[in-house]
Amino acid sequence: MEDFIRHLPKVELHLHIEGSLEPELMFELAERNNITLPYANVEEAREAYHFHNLQSFLDIYYQGANVLLTERDFFDLTWAYLMRCKADNVMHTEIFFDPQTHTGRGIAFDTAINGIYHALRQGEKELGITSQLIMCFLRHLSEEAAFETLEQAKPHLHRLVGVGLDSSELGHPPEKFARVFAEARALGLTTVAHAGEEGPASNIYDAIELLHVSRVDHGVQCTQDPALVELLAQTRMPLTVCPLSNIKLRVFDRMEDHNILSLLDKGLCVTVNSDDPAFFGGYMNDNFLALNRALSPSKEQLTQLTRNAIEAAFVDKDTRQSLHQKLDDFSANHGVH
């Protein structure tokens, strides 16, 4: 089954590019940019990646982002992630970036998006990995700051497929950003939002009703409300679930307790993603392998998780058809019914 998982074609829909910064690259960029890190070496930095909750994770996450200064830095960060995609048989990825993490330290919006975007285009050309880019607003910052970021994004709308909402969910409900999301939709952008990870099921309802999201990022707390679970199944509202992240941030105590397969069996459009893989214990293969060890999914269930991700991807008809064909070919060759 592990061999099956490694070769299974995959689609990733919930990946924070800043959260793919491995300690080795962090040190490399710090040296290039003459930045002194608060760690003696790579091992000490890796040790610091062991945190206890969402806030302590965010503290180290923002610390690491300080090494990203130039377009080349953002390119190298994104390219390193794409090489992981290639190794894990990820056919298509839709990545988040947090411009406010960078503009807040004096890095131009253009610098970040140019580096990321050029790496994604090169990844399509050289690695055959298709991609989309989603700009996230940091929800612990103000609505005004989100509007400023949307203004900065306007020259780059052709490079963005949508906007998202991330950072600390508790105390920052979806309604705080209803107006800026309405403005983003008016500009032709699709919307997604983190909801129902550390926050309650009501945040999932509000993300759908107030922000008009096309996907819910995380969403695992939907089980607090059986009526919501039924609604999500009926509407096929995608949930971009991140198993290893959920364990690391204590959303579930053990992978054996994770609800992804029970939600799958109820007909929900759940998908597997790596979130912040440098911090949470691994990339796409690692997440699928962890589910396999703890929950013993069938080949049909594993294949359905990719099928759901293809269904939920923000791609045109031809790209979707091509992704389905690759999965169908794999399924036929591996006896999946």
Q: Which residues are annotated binding-site positions for substrate?
A: 276
Radius of gyration, CA atoms only, the chain: 19
* All residues at 6 or more sequence positions from 147 whose CB lies less than 8 Å from its CB, including other chains: 179, 180, 183
* Residue 24 annotated as catalytic: no
* All residues at 6 or more sequence positions from 137 whose CB lies less than 8 Å from its CB, including other chains: 100, 145, 146, 149, 150, 163, 164, 165, 166, 177, 180
Distance CA 97, CA 167 (A): 12
Q: How many CB atoms lie within 10 A of CB 97?
A: 24
Helices (H), ranges, the chain = 2-7, 23-32, 42-48, 54-65, 71-87, 99-103, 109-127, 143-153, 178-186, 201-210, 226-235, 243-248, 260-265, 277-280, 284-295, 299-312, 317-333
Q: Which of 12, 71, 197, 198 is catalytic?
A: 197
Residue type, position 130, single letter: T
Would you list which residues are annotated within the binding site for Zn(2+)? Answer: 14, 16, 194, 275
Strands 270-272 and 239-241: parallel
Residue of 134, 135, 124, 133 lying closest to 91 (CA atoms) = 124
Distance CA 221, CA 201 (A): 5
CA–CA–CA angle 23, 27, 29 (5° rounding): 115
Active site residues: 197
